[in-house]
Amino acid sequence: MPEELFALAPAKVNLTLEVGAARADGYHELASVLQTLALADEVTLRPASTPSMQVAGPFAAGTPEDAGNLAWRAVDALASVLGREPQPFHIRIVKHIPAAGGLGGGASDAATVLRLLARRWPDAGEEALATAAAAVGSDEPFLLAGGTALVEGRGERVTPLRDLPEHGVVLFIPPDTLPNKTATLFAALDRDGQVDEPAVSRSLAGRLPVRVTGADLYNSFERVAFDCFPGLAELWERLEARTGEAVRLAGAGPTLFWIGPAESVDAVVGAAEGVGCTVIPTATAGSLWRR
């Protein structure tokens, strides 16, 4: 086996995201149809004398290079599940996915590290990987599989679905996010008081594979995101006015996205020029790991 292992860590978008009631353990019941994208970070793993990490790339700023990084935690989580002493590795991540934007970049880096560790640790089967992924976070179990899937519980129950047909996707990255933004949005939803049932997610899951547009999607966080992220409502309105298309919130935001025919991507990118955000064209993508 080569000393250095490499894999891509894809971004994700939530086609649906329904937030249910808070549970006794403090988490909320979720139902979401998730989709991986062609946009991806690059992750390299190699043995080292001491644990270390390097983060580079266009969206490296603000990404921790220590135990605060989810990818670093993934090594310890899997070692714990397997009853191993944590082995020191050097992890290098090239960030093409904007951090803290609702696109799952950090979680995907962690899930990819788990997949790379499984090549080196033969006792790391699917059950152990899933347990470690859930210990690291809520998006990691889906990103361990990728493709298109229905996710329920707090994220640990993943049902693979037939792949969404290829769609074009355009991401709109606002210049600012919020500290502790996921907790902030969940708290805002709790104050809002509305509890969503998983009807939209299960309906879409049952109809796949179908073509979708933003008008077909749903995200509970859209009820409160305008109040939590300064300037997001104005950006959203400008984008929809410029493109003439529905634009949706990615996960807990603040990234917004358009989804539709691949041949329309250039027109959407052109319409958004000068709107005051970073624009990234990409596409839906199948799983890198499922067979």
Q: How far is CA 248 from the centre of its chain?
A: 15
Cβ atoms of 285 and 163 within 8 Å: the answer is no
Distance (Å, rounded) from C-alpha 5 to C-alpha 201? 36
The closest alpha carbon to 258, from 217, 219, 206, 229, belongs to 217
Q: How many CA atoms lie within 13 A of 204 on its CB side?
A: 29
Which pairing describes strands 52-56 and 89-94: parallel, antiparallel, or unpaired?
parallel
Neighbouring residues of 154: CB distance < 8 A, sequence distance ≥ 6? 23, 27, 28, 29, 30, 138
Q: Is 62 exposed, middle or buried (0-12, 13-18, 19+ CB in 10 A)?
A: exposed
Residue 112 CB: number of other CB atoms within 10 A? 32
H helix runs in the chain, sequence order:
70-82, 105-120, 126-136, 140-145, 181-192, 199-207, 222-228, 232-243, 265-271
One-character DSSP codes across 203-227? HHHHH-S----GGG-EETTHHHHHH
Residue 279 CB: number of other CB atoms within 10 A? 18
- Find residue 19's DSSP bridge partners: 30
Which pairing describes strands 28-47 and 148-153: parallel, antiparallel, or unpaired?
antiparallel
Distance (Å, rounded) from C-alpha 189 to C-alpha 209? 31
* Active site residue ranges: 12, 139
